[in-house]
A and B are shown apart, each in its own frame.
Chain A
Amino acid sequence: MEPTNVHDPEYYHKVVDCQYACPAHTPVPEYIRLIAAEKYTEAYMVNWESNVFPGVLGRTCDRPCEPACRRGRVDEEPVAICRLKRVAADNKGDITHLLPKIPTKGNGKRIALIGAGPASLTVARDLAPLGYEIHVFDEQIKGGGMMRSQIPSFRLPESVLDEEVNNILNLGIHQHFKTYVSSLKSVLDDGYDAVFIGTGAPRGRDLSNLPGRAEGGANIHVGIEWLASVAFEHTKQIGKKVIVLGGGNTAMDCCRTSRRLGGEEVKVVVRSPFSEMRASPWEKEDAQHEDIPILDNHVPVSFVSENGKLKGMTFEKVHAVYDEKGKRSLVPTGEPHVFIEGDDVLVAIGQENYFPWIERDLGIEFDKWEMPSVNSLTFQSTNEKVFFGGDAALGPKNVITAVAQGHSAAVSIDLYCQGKSLDVRPDPFTNLVSQKMGIHEWSYDSIVTNDDRFVVPQAEKALTLKDRKKEVELGFDKLVGFKEAERCLNCDIQTVFTENRCIECDACMDVCPTDCITFTANGTEEDLRTRLMAPSLRLEQDLLVSDTLAATGRVMVKDEDVCLHCGLCAERCPTSAWDMQKFFYNTTKAHHGCGSH
């Protein structure tokens, strides 16, 4: 193999599995170390800089970082990254003086943001400090978008959301709430320099064609609309027996909310097998903990009403069959249909984009699914002035993805307004610094603790089920937060190898607890992976390959897979050919001068 090009920032970035997996590339180990050092405010700001809503995400994030966490490959469970973020948010001090300053004199450019959800607010946060005049439009009374309308208060207290939304709106954003934008043309005609569309995926799917839908209509609700109606306090109760259709996180929010509005026998009914439901495992657990059975492999057949009043639904039982390509089909088992009683039914089977307010003659191309044609890097549409982000851009995902897309779109809008090419994008900020303090001394906690993942305590079920606004999760306290933080392996402290210092004494190879390091004759990657000290089975994990070593003509090969970043290779290296160096990677953003560095 050719020597690894460690000057490509993406090489070391990829070693930091959590950060690499995060759509916004939040520097996870960096803020976890700050939490361990009780620097909660600093930890919060590292997050705020990157993901804009640490308090919200510390409770509700989809956490793509956690399945990626290296700890999960050597220990039973990954670090509780998401809930550590909440520790930072819960314990932070006053941050007002750390927020970016808004220039007294603007740059003369006006930007319209349609929708006030996470994507739009991210664009606002990034562009306002640069002097842009930002106008945000939303039909609701407050900002936050789906974070407000769809995430129930028992998972995300309103005060947390308000604080983080207001931190952005207070950056001199011109707010146009209770304003439904019914025509993009009229917005463009107002002479904005650019328009960002972050209107989410506002339309919940329904079962319009299922028999009995019309007759039972009064008690059949579309999940996200119902959640919004609860959030804005238009709906305050539901029947005793509730059927929730769907297997995603919205279904979980619907069933748990029902339990708080009078639902006593709430059942989730889903077509797919339990293991293939789209809801996050922890959300399924939380629902089951609230005595909500999840009935899988049930396909809806009809709504059943008597005298114009909904009585329940019938379902057909199926089982999953897979063809050679792994494609699933649900085949009826032949058992008689199942009737389930229900006073109300919540349909939470997905949501989709809806752009009736965008005229089709504005130069924005739409595909056959009525989705706008959006560049997935620049987030520019085919009308150069119009940008998309969040669920509105590439379909429904999650908050952290919306934030990441907001950052990219803000960079594009900034470049566009300066008349620059959108394809020549600023580089990410990177830094690589030795952490050596002395013999056996590193500036990070290199000791690998053996603690199992700590469980987040919850409030008493008897209390939380009575009050829709009572937060269920209590969060880690400071001490448990510290212990959980210590489980982090510090993957951003890179093992940096300098060939010309190596005397090939094998000390690193002998001491490495996880057998990551091998000195051997060079070969192709496929061949090398068969000759390493330990099996090298995860091909997506890179090999760090040195240049040819002077004394023996061999190369040093390090399998990054299960490196614990314990620093023993560097401690046992007599010539400092190995060094532990902190790699800081900050994605490109439009704003300057705020945040942690």
Chain B
Amino acid sequence: MTYIRPTFRHPDLPKNKINFTKKDYEGALSTLCAGCGHDSISGAIAQACFELSVEPHRIAKLSGIGCSSKTPAYFLGNSHGFNSVHGRMPSVATGAYLANRDLLYFGVSGDGDSASIGMGQFVHAIRRNLNMVYLVMNNGCYGLTKGQDSATADNGSKSKAGSVNPFNAIDLVGLSMELGATFVARSFSGDKAQLIPLIKAAIKHPGFAFIDVISPCVTFNNNVGSTKSYDYVREHIEATSTVDFVPIMEEITANYEDSKEITLHDGSALQLQKLHQGWNPEDKLSAMIALQNAKEKGEILTGLVYIEPNTNALHDVLQTAKTPLNTLKEDVLCPGIDALEALNESLR
């Protein structure tokens, strides 16, 4: 057994604004199958957090059960983590978010964890507009149990064993838009140039940010006839636009004719180029039409699909205290007999 990662790193690694190198955003060495798309997504998450200069201890990683839900062990090793029950990550995320609104919540789930066992939880997290990133590593199969078709497997997709899936797929992107998610994107594990800026924008988004990432299962779903193989995805991929994340205070240099700039909540911006025809990311209807059109043509539409930059997340809706519960002192939590009596009086 020689599977040990050396501690040496490149001597000239760049540092981000808070003086960390990429090494500070690494996790343990992955135990997933060699070539798993999930590892690539883990790498993209770490890279996005490094580039945004997020302090690792300000991030909470949340996951359920499955290959995808193992990945929080493989990135952001210096961050908080909670590996919950199968499909129950949204409940844990809701609780954590309500208790401490100051952390950055990064939920990682899979197609089984979100579209099957956790579907009932997933939809409510969207409905409630938690301020979190919710990333699904979508490989269309149950990799931990020998690769049975999952609920996101396309109708007609062939498994490694040769059986053809007879059921329609749940489209998590369409579903989340229908339920009112305010940041919806789809990407591919093999396209980091697109995935990293999408993750950065999702982190900056002040509400529920959903990213469906197609992530081939090299062991059980990378065969000819599968619609989630590296080859199939690369042949059928279609992008809404190219995506560039532009941090605050940085001047946008490129300027193309068919381009669009979306200012995010905190002043950073998304620069979109080579826009898909008839599509406007801030118009839900055009986004849904673009999705449907792509589906009919057998294309996999990736990139930013829909965004509503100014949104009211759960804390805003509920008008809860601005301070995390763990820093509320006794005098605030227990305001005394006078306050209680005043409250009782108001209810008489």
Complex interface: chain A residues within 8 A of B4 (CB): 447
Complex interface: chain B residues within 8 A of A442 (CB): 2
Complex interface: chain A residues within 8 A of B42 (CB): 510
Interface-facing stretch out of B32-40, B93-101, B157-165: B32-40
A75 and B8: CB pair below 8 A? yes
Complex interface: chain A residues within 8 A of B190 (CB): 504-506, 552
How far apart sit A507 and B8, CA to CA, in the bound complex (Å)? 19
Complex interface: chain A residues within 8 A of B231 (CB): 503, 551
Within 8 A of B (CB), among A44-74: 73-74
How far apart sit A537 and B14, CA to CA, in the bound complex (Å)? 12
How far apart sit A515 and B218, CA to CA, in the bound complex (Å)? 23
Within 8 A of A (CB), among B29-54: 29-30, 33-37, 39-40, 42-43
How far apart sit A317 and B300, CA to CA, in the bound complex (Å)? 78
How far apart sit A73 and B35, CA to CA, in the bound complex (Å)? 29
- Whether B11 sits at the interface, judged by CB under 8 Å, is yes
For B221-247 the 0/1 string (1 means CB < 8 A from A) is: 010000000110010000000000000
- Whether A564 sits at the interface, judged by CB under 8 Å, is yes
Interface-facing stretch out of A184-192, A392-400, A462-470, A571-579: A571-579
A506 and B216: CB pair below 8 A? no
Complex interface: chain A residues within 8 A of B14 (CB): 534-535
How far apart sit A397 and B25, CA to CA, in the bound complex (Å)? 49
For A319-353 the 0/1 string (1 means CB < 8 A from B) is: 00000000000000000000000000000000000
- Whether B12 sits at the interface, judged by CB under 8 Å, is yes
Known A-B contacts A75-B8, A507-B35; the reply to A515 vs B13 at CB < 8 A is yes
How far apart sit A572 and B43, CA to CA, in the bound complex (Å)? 14
- Whether A408 sits at the interface, judged by CB under 8 Å, is no
- Whether B192 sits at the interface, judged by CB under 8 Å, is yes
- Whether A96 sits at the interface, judged by CB under 8 Å, is no
B2 and A441: CB pair below 8 A? yes
- Whether A88 sits at the interface, judged by CB under 8 Å, is no
For A490-515 the 0/1 string (1 means CB < 8 A from B) is: 00000000000001111101110111
Q: Which residue of A lies closest to B191 (CB)?
A: A552
Judged by DSSP, the binding face of A is: loop
B9 and A513: CB pair below 8 A? yes
Cβ-defined partner of B34 (8 Å) among A441, A537, A574: A574
Q: Which residue of B lies closest to A562 (CB)?
A: B10
B34 and A571: CB pair below 8 A? yes
B230 and A534: CB pair below 8 A? no
Complex interface: chain A residues within 8 A of B37 (CB): 505
Known A-B contacts A505-B218, A506-B190, A574-B218; the reply to A514 vs B33 at CB < 8 A is no
Range for the number of chain B residues in contact with chain A: 35 or more
A507 and B5: CB pair below 8 A? no
- Whether A401 sits at the interface, judged by CB under 8 Å, is no
Complex interface: chain A residues within 8 A of B36 (CB): 505, 507
B6 and A513: CB pair below 8 A? yes
- Whether B253 sits at the interface, judged by CB under 8 Å, is no
B43 and A513: CB pair below 8 A? no
B39 and A507: CB pair below 8 A? yes
B5 and A568: CB pair below 8 A? yes
Known A-B contacts A448-B6, A510-B39, A513-B5; the reply to A505 vs B216 at CB < 8 A is yes
Q: Which residue of B lies closest to A566 (CB)?
A: B6
Complex interface: chain B residues within 8 A of A507 (CB): 34-36, 39-40
- Whether A586 sits at the interface, judged by CB under 8 Å, is no
B2 and A567: CB pair below 8 A? yes
B40 and A564: CB pair below 8 A? no
- Whether B3 sits at the interface, judged by CB under 8 Å, is yes
Complex interface: chain B residues within 8 A of A509 (CB): 43
Residue count of chain A within 8 Å CB distance of chain B: 38
Give min CB distance, B8 to chain A, whole Å. 4
B6 and A564: CB pair below 8 A? yes
- Whether B277 sits at the interface, judged by CB under 8 Å, is no
Q: Which residue of B lies closest to A504 (CB)?
A: B190
A506 and B8: CB pair below 8 A? no
How far apart sit A448 and B4, CA to CA, in the bound complex (Å)? 8
A552 and B6: CB pair below 8 A? no
Complex interface: chain A residues within 8 A of B10 (CB): 514-516, 534-535, 562
Complex interface: chain B residues within 8 A of A513 (CB): 5-9
B3 and A440: CB pair below 8 A? yes
- Whether A446 sits at the interface, judged by CB under 8 Å, is yes
For A537-571 the 0/1 string (1 means CB < 8 A from B) is: 10000000000000110000000001010111001
- Whether B318 sits at the interface, judged by CB under 8 Å, is no
Output the residue of B1, B5, B43, B216 with the most chain A CB within 10 A: B5
A572 and B6: CB pair below 8 A? no
- Whether A275 sits at the interface, judged by CB under 8 Å, is no
A511 and B30: CB pair below 8 A? yes
- Whether A450 sits at the interface, judged by CB under 8 Å, is yes
Complex interface: chain B residues within 8 A of A503 (CB): 35, 218, 222, 230-231
B12 and A534: CB pair below 8 A? yes
How far apart sit A573 and B34, CA to CA, in the bound complex (Å)? 6
Give min CB distance, B47 to chain A, whole Å. 9
Give min CB distance, A571 to chain B, whole Å. 6
Output the residue of B9, B42, B216 with the most chain A CB within 10 A: B9
Q: Which residue of A lies closest to B192 (CB)?
A: A506
How far apart sit A446 and B222, CA to CA, in the bound complex (Å)? 30
Cβ-defined partner of A572 (8 Å) among B1, B12, B22, B35: B35
For A420-457 the 0/1 string (1 means CB < 8 A from B) is: 00000000000000000000111001111010000000
B234 and A552: CB pair below 8 A? yes
Q: Which residue of B lies closest to A447 (CB)?
A: B4
A447 and B35: CB pair below 8 A? no
Complex interface: chain B residues within 8 A of A450 (CB): 7
How far apart sit A87 and B13, CA to CA, in the bound complex (Å)? 36
Known A-B contacts A506-B190, A535-B12; the reply to A511 vs B29 at CB < 8 A is yes
A448 and B8: CB pair below 8 A? yes
How far apart sit A100 and B192, CA to CA, in the bound complex (Å)? 58
Give min CB distance, B244 to chain A, whole Å. 16
B234 and A551: CB pair below 8 A? yes
Complex interface: chain B residues within 8 A of A567 (CB): 2
How far apart sit A198 and B230, CA to CA, in the bound complex (Å)? 64
Known A-B contacts A74-B8, A505-B216, A537-B12; the reply to A510 vs B2 at CB < 8 A is no
Within 8 A of B (CB), among A505-531: 505-507, 509-511, 513-516
The 19 sampled A-B contact pairs (Cβ below 8 Å) are A74-B8, A75-B8, A503-B231, A505-B40, A506-B189, A506-B190, A507-B35, A513-B6, A513-B8, A514-B9, A535-B13, A537-B12, A552-B190, A562-B8, A566-B6, A568-B29, A572-B39, A573-B35, A574-B33
Beyond A74-B9, A450-B7, A562-B11, 15 additional pairs, beta carbon < 8 A: A75-B8, A440-B2, A503-B218, A504-B230, A505-B189, A505-B218, A506-B43, A509-B43, A511-B29, A511-B30, A514-B9, A515-B10, A515-B13, A516-B10, A562-B10
